[in-house]
Each structure stands twice: as structure tokens, then as C-alpha cells.
Structure 1
Amino acid sequence: MRPPRQKAGRAKRRFKMRIKYLGHACFLLEANDGTRILTDPYEPGSFDGAVKYRPVAETADIVLVSHDHADHNWSAGIPGSPQVIKEDGERAVSGIKVLGVPSFHDTSRGSERGNNIIFRVELDGLAVCHLGDLGHALDPASASALLPVDVLLMPVGGTFTIGAQVASEVMEILSPTLTIPMHFKTDGVDFPIDPVDGFLAKKDNVIRAGSSEITVSRGDIPSGIVLLDPSLLP
């Protein structure tokens, strides 16, 4: 005897989003429908050659720029004509909700390194938060504006951004399901920042993916910290 056929419309469709780590603070977020978002593209060779990552060749529909430094703002190098967002505020782009929350690149309200925008995008039923070059602990108002967070893309290398200790505090405040570290010392950048190991030390639920990308969905998302390998190392 055959089991009863499930009625049309009963099953919920699960949308999958691809997250690819290109390097430094640059990620590709690709939605289930093919919409592509790039975060903080860097200019190869900038800062007198300190940025050694290979060029970003990915196309994008939307480019998010957290601040106007060459290792984060090279939207001119992205193929095609993406919509570039570099302001705070709330907007809908191609049906995607994008929120920009103002912050600073240092602990002195921007007097040392300027302003920074934290971006929160809602994609395939998931809230993804990219902290840019956040340089200070989160204040309650900013944290409240960003919540809830499913996926947190967070700098951990220190010096120019929050380091391991403050990053851990930010992670606790935002309480994401998944955290992906970024902006740490690699062969792709000759900056005086720390490797990722200091942040990962004594952390539970750390997954070293062994690849540059991960696919997540509303019902299938790792809990904890996932370390992705930058795909554009020299």
C-alpha cells in the first residue's frame, strides 16, 4: 500500500545561502535566487604593497563598504555595475533589507581612524551582520538595532579593529548562531595585526572548515565559530 501523497504546499521550501571568504574583510554572500553581495572589497597592492591578496574577480549586485580605506573600499575593481552602499540607514535593495549602523574605527569616536558602518542584511531568512573595521565595544543602542543576528562576520586581529577580548564580548552581546572571524594576520596582508589563534583560544564549538566557503539555511546553520580559509591568498 502506497503512503498518502503529501498535499501541495505543505512542505516548506528551504533557501540556501552561500558564504565565501575571499580575504581580509571581503566576503561574497550569494542568495538562493543568485543575488550576490560583496563586503569590503580591498585594493590589491594598496598601503605600499601591504595588501597582498589576489584581485577580487567575483561579480556582485550589491557592494557594501564599511569605510573609506583602500583595504575595504575598492568597489571600482568589481566587474559590472553593482549598487554600492557606503552610508548608514535602512533601505531595501533588490528586495533585500539592508541596515547600516554608524560606529567608529577606533576607541576615540573616530578621531584617529574615522567612521565605520556596521551592515546587517536579511538574506534567505537569515540576518547576516558584517562589522567592518569596528574599533570599539558595542554600545547598547547599536547592539539593539542589530539584533537578532544569525551570522556574524567579525574582525578579530586588533590594532586597527577590535581584538580577541573585545571581539569575544561583542559576540556574547550579539549572540549569533554562527560567527566567522575576519581581518586577522595571514600571508595576504602585511599589517601589524594578530593571527586568528588568539581569538580561537579557549573557545568551544570551533570548526575549522578547511575551505573558503560554507552553505547555510534557516534550518541548517552551524552553531559556534567556523574558521574559513581566505580563497585569494597570494
Structure 2
Amino acid sequence: MSLLRIALRFLILLVSQAAMGALPAFAQSGEPGCRPEMASYRLPIQRAQLTRDEVRLTFVGHATFLIETPGGVRIATDYNDYVRPPVTPDIATMNKAHSTHYSNRPDPGIKLVLRGWDPEGKGAARHDLTLGDVRVRNVPTNIRTLDGGTDYDGNSIFVFEIGDLCIAHLGHLHHPLEPGHLRALGRVDVVLFPVDGSYTLDQEGMLEVLKSLQARVMIPMHFFGGGTLERFLSRTRDLWPVERRGEPAITLSRAGLPARPTVIVLPGR
């Protein structure tokens, strides 16, 4: 092989490796902080080794978590084009309040794409299905419209039942929960909730939601930066203990839940 041909092959290899490491371009969104760096969490996700009673949660960023079951099912919450897990999930849930909570171009490898609204506008979305060892269902909620009105049943809280553990992702919740919502949700062991206090429900209202749910683990999301998160945590000082974790992933089981409701902060945005 000539030296010129070797040099050309080496150059092609370098260019292809650089292309593989490049970040895609991102559109702008109506919510602050949804810049390309939001997708910079290149988490080295390996398939979780879990016992039959365990679930692993990884905070990818914004409102997106990767949920992994003992049977190997992977779920991405509020799946969108800005913040995605570095693996193709089996299930993707979405809400439509902003483009950072849904995708019109989901990965074709996803087995189930569950939208928290009825795309045909005929009423509330209704999901209750099982894939492998996870049951996924939704509880419809309302959202504010740009003109100040209400889009009834425009979003959903998604509930994931895995073994004995019940996980609720509040999505882009805009209002307090009524008794009907609480009955539909049932027991919640782990709640993933937004704390920005403006685009979603205000922080005082969110505190009331958490009090009504009485989940043993409460994980904040959708906070756009440390200042907003710290303001929320300052409001919880006399209510619940706070644990700060250094890693974005946490493994949970019902038997291992804290004895009293606890806020657990995972690094992310």
C-alpha cells in the first residue's frame, strides 16, 4: 500500500471520528435554558443490573428521566428533541406544553410512543398498558394556553408501576391536584416534579401537591438553574429532609425507601 493511500485512509478515519462526536443542532424553545448545552449530559449508560425489586432512575436533564426496570425495559419521560438519553428507550412519554417536552420526530426504534394529550383533540388521552415488567398509565391534567385560556386534558401525569414501586412523573403540571386526580393516581412512592414556579405551577402550589401525594421520595426537575432550585429547597426546610446526590442515577426499591418523605436532589437542570 502506498504512503499516499495510507495517509488518505488515516485522514478519513479522523474526519469520521470527529463527526461522530459532534453535537446536533438544536432549535430554540419558549422555555429558558433550553440551549444546546442542555443536551451535553453524555451519560455513559450501561444496561442496569437490577434485582427484581429494583428500579434505576437517571436524570438526563430538564424533565427527562431514563427509567430502567429489572426486566430491561427502558423508559424516557417527556421525550423531546433537545434533551434525550444516550440510548433508544423502549417507551417514550410526552407532554405538549413546550417543545422541550415532546418530539414530532421520535426515534423509530421506540416501541411505544405515548402522548399525554389526544392528537385529534377529541378529549383526554387514555393510556394503560404493559410492556415487559412495567405498567404505564396516565392521569390527564390541564394546561394554560398562550392567550390565558385553559387546554383541558392537554397534558398528563404518567405513572409507572414496576414491581411494588409506583413512580409518578408530574410533567408540565399547571394546577393543584384535585381529589379526582389523587384517586386516579393512587399510592405514589416516588414523584418527579417541576420546581421552576412560573412555567409550571408556582412553588407554593407545588408544595401543596407534594403534601397531598405523600411520596417517600421526591425528586425535583425542571428548575433551569441552581437559584430556582435553592429557592424551592428553602421552602422545604421545615417539612422534609433533603439529600443531595453526586451522581445523576439512583437505584430504588420499595423496601429501601426512606422512613419518612425525603427530597432527593440529582445533578442536572
User: TM exceeds 0.5?
Assistant: yes
SS across alignment from 1:168: helix
**SS of equivalent to 1:42:** coil
Deviation at 1:99, TM superposition (A): 1.8
**Matching residue of 2:141:** 103
1:173 Cα deviation from its structure 2 partner: 0.5
Please tell me the residue identity of whatever aligns with 1:19.
L
Q: For residue 145 of structure 1, give the secondary structure of its aligned residue in structure 2.
A: helix
Q: Which amino acid aligns with 2:90?
A: D
Cα deviation per residue 1:63-119 (whole Å; 9 max; x = unaligned)?
1112263100127354723310114324223143222111112399x8257721111
Q: Helix, strand or coil for the counterpart of 1:173?
A: helix
SS in 1 for 2:181: helix
Is 2:123 the partner of 1:94?
A: no
**Residues in 2 aligned to 1:229 and 1:38: alpha-carbon distance in whole angstroms:** 17
Q: Distance in 1 between matches of 2:139 and 2:220?
A: 20
Q: Does 1:166 align with 2:211?
A: no
**Length-normalised TM-score, structure 2:** 0.69
Which protein shows a greater Rg? Answer: 2
Say whether 1:144 aligns with 2:144: no
Hey, what's the Cα distance between the residues in 2 that align with 1:152 and 1:107? Answer: 25
Greater alpha carbon shift after TM alignment, 161-170 vs 64-73? 64-73
Matches within 5 A, 1:1-234: 14-44=52-82, 55-67=84-96, 69-74=98-103, 76-78=105-107, 80-87=109-116, 88-95=125-132, 96-106=134-144, 111=149, 115-186=154-225, 195-203=228-236, 204-222=240-258, 223-230=261-268
What displacement does 1:136 show? Answer: 0.7
Contact 1:186 1:195 in 2 (8 A): yes
Of all paired residues, the percent bearing the same amino acid is: 33
Post-superposition Cα deviations, 1:184-208, rounded to whole Å, max 9, x if no partner, equal 1139xxxxxx611111114231001
Quick one: structure 1 residues 107 and 206, their matched pair in 2 at CA, closer, same or farther if it must change by over 3 Å? farther
How far apart, in 2, do the equivalents of 1:75 and 1:180 lie?
27
Deviation digits for residues 132-173 of structure 1 (CA, Å, limit 9, x no counterpart)? 100011111011111200000001102110132111100000
Contact 2:136–2:159 under 8 Å retained in 1: yes
What TM-score results when the alignment is normalised by the length of structure 1? 0.78
Do the aligned residues in 2 keep the contact of 1:90 with 1:97 (CA within 8 Å)? no
Query: SS where residue 185 of structure 1 aligns?
Result: coil
1:1-44 CA deviation, whole Å, 9 max, x = no partner?
Answer: xxxxxxxxxxxx75210000001100000001111111002322
Q: Does structure 2 conserve the Cα–Cα contact (< 8 Å) formed by 1:58 and 1:78?
A: no
Which protein has greater RCO, CA pairs closer than 8 Å, 6+ apart?
Answer: 1
Unpaired runs of 5+ in structure 1? 1-12, 45-52, 188-193
How many residues matched? 203
The residue type paired with residue 71 of structure 1 is T
Looking at structure 2, the residues matched to 107 and 169 of structure 1 have their Cα atoms a distance apart, in angstroms, of: 23
Tell me, in whole angstroms, the C-alpha distance in 2 between the residues paired with 1:83 and 1:196: 32
What is the alpha-carbon root mean square deviation over aligned residues? 2.4
